């Protein structure tokens, strides 16, 4: 939020009557951009800065890399502050936008989104959580979502010649892989992001807004079908029923054990190969299957949106930065550089050469995000979905457990 004026010095007696701007001495503005660590490489940022400043002679970029830890409080403070040194563009998690928009802290970018940026073509898992009411505040930058990472050698040993095209096929081949000391799939019992995709695939929701009130809906018929599919798949391996995918880290389990499949973002392959380089030629990827062939299953889409604080005093410059970073040229460049999914399905071909990213991009077309209410953070803080999953996987009546979890979600969403 800083502006910089050129220093003008009158050096000639002939200019005593007043100082004038020399050709090219236009007023310059600095656009301060907060981006998160590891979202973009330094090489990418250097290239972007050089090209952007060359194409926008009146603008300077000041890119400041932030840490995810504690970023929520830091962003809220920046949005409320009148300090001139604050950010003009901020990268935020796609599910965080509603929290910041609720307090009128963000600039409404609906007009630019519809008129100039092709809002209707954005990935829904990034675009939808970027809206608050009917206004667009978060502009999709990049996405990442889960795929199935599998062992090609174990597929060959089991006589499986191709990835499944439907969920029924997925269950059948996983059962075939779950033999001879091998795990057909390693799926932790509390991997609720994966469960969310199964629920959405069935037409269910984690929570819904009715008459202005949010209510948990895990007890709906479609949500129960999603949990039942999770239960059947999870049983075809030895994943713990009372822990999530990070306890223990599933990359470690996959690397050291005879595990045929895991559900994870493709980037997890780096951690797997670091622990077991011998798998370098044996990792394959396919989108999480859907109920019908030719249509990937619904998945949770993580990623980042770009927002502009309402208090920025360099509005036009900030909008130009957002337009450039989220536009086709630099967005596809970022996707190729960082193995992300671009913000529009039509740009997926730019990452088609990478098997894992191509599988992720195919799934991203059906990506979703968590319910668009600022209170959803309260649900995740004391996550009743995880407890519900463990109860079902240890033999509890699914309908009763789901009703209890849905009630706790409703209570959390009602807290203000």
Report which DSSP code applies to 309: B
Of the candidates 153, 120, 147, the residue with the CA atom closest to the CA atom of residue 136:
120
Confidence of residue 343 (pLDDT cuts 50, 70, 90): very high
Judge contact between 138 and 278, C-beta under 8 A: no
Cis amide bond preceding 113, omega within 30: no
Tell me the per-residue pLDDT of 228-244, one tens digit each, with 9 for 90 and over: 999 999 999 999 999 99
Over 70: is that where the pLDDT of 11 sits?
Answer: no
- Identify whether the C-beta of residue 343 lies closer than 8 Å to the C-beta of residue 120: no
Strands 2-4 and 213-216: unpaired
Q: How far is CA 10 from CA 6, 14, 18, 25, 28, in A?
A: 13, 9, 8, 14, 20
For the beta carbon of residue 128, count every other beta carbon within 10 angstroms.
Answer: 19
Return mean pLDDT, the chain. Answer: 91
Supply the pLDDT for residue 173: 98
| 122 Cβ contact partners less than 8 Å away, ≥ 6 residues apart | 140, 343, 344
pLDDT at 161 > cutoff 90:
yes
Q: What is the pLDDT of residue 20?
A: 42
- Residue 55 clears pLDDT 70, i.e. is over it: yes
Over 90: is that where the pLDDT of 117 sits? yes
Helix-then-strand count for the chain, H and E: 17, 14
Under a CB-based contact definition with an 8 Å cutoff, are residues 384 and 402 in contact?
A: no
Average pLDDT over residues 20-35: 73
* Structure confidence at residue 1 (pLDDT): 55
């Amino acid at each position: 939020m800083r502006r910089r004026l050129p220093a003008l010095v009158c050096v000639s007696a002939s200019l005593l009557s007043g100082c004038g701007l020399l050709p090219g001495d236009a007023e310059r503005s600095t656009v301060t951009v907060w981006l998160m660590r590891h979202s973009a490489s330094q090489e990418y940022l250097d290239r972007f800065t050089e090209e952007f400043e060359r194409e926008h002679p009146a603008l300077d970029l000041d890119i400041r890399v932030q840490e995810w830890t504690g970023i929520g409080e830091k962003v809220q403070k920046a949005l409320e502050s009148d300090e001139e040194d604050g950010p003009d563009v901020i990268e935020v998690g796609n599910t965080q936008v509603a929290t910041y928009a609720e307090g009128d802290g963000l600039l409404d970018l609906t007009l630019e989104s519809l008129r100039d940026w092709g809002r209707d073509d954005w990935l829904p898992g990034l675009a939808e959580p970027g809206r608050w009411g009917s206004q667009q505040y978060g502009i999709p930058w990049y996405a990442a979502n889960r795929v199935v990472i599998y062992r090609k050698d174990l597929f060959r040993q089991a006589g499986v010649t191709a990835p499944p095209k439907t969920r029924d096929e997925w269950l059948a081949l996983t059962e075939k892989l779950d033999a001879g000391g091998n795990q057909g799939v390693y799926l932790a019992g509390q991997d609720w992001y994966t469960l969310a995709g199964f629920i959405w695939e069935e037409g269910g929701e984690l929570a819904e807004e009715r008459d202005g009130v949010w209510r948990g809906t895990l007890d709906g018929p479609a949500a129960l079908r999603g949990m039942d599919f999770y239960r059947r798949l999870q049983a075809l391996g030895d994943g713990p029923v009372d822990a999530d995918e990070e306890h223990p880290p599933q990359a470690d389990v996959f690397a050291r054990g005879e595990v045929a499949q895991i559900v994870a973002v493709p980037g997890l392959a780096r951690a797997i190969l670091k622990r077991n380089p011998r798998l370098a030629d044996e990792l394959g990827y396919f989108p999480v299957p859907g109920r019908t062939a030719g249509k990937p299953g619904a998945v949770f889409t993580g990623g980042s949106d770009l927002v502009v604080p309402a208090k920025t005093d360099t509005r036009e410059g900030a909008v130009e930065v957002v337009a450039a970073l989220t536009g086709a040229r630099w967005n596809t460049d970022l996707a190729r550089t960082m193995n992300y999914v671009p913000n529009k399905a039509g740009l997926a071909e730019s990452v088609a050469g990478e098997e894992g990213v191509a599988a992720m991009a195919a799934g991203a077309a059906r990506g979703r995000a968590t319910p668009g209410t600022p209170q959803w953070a309260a649900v995740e803080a004391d996550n009743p979905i995880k407890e519900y999953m463990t109860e079902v996987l240890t033999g509890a009546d699914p309908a009763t457990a789901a009703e209890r979890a849905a009630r706790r979600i409703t209570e959390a969403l009602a807290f203000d």
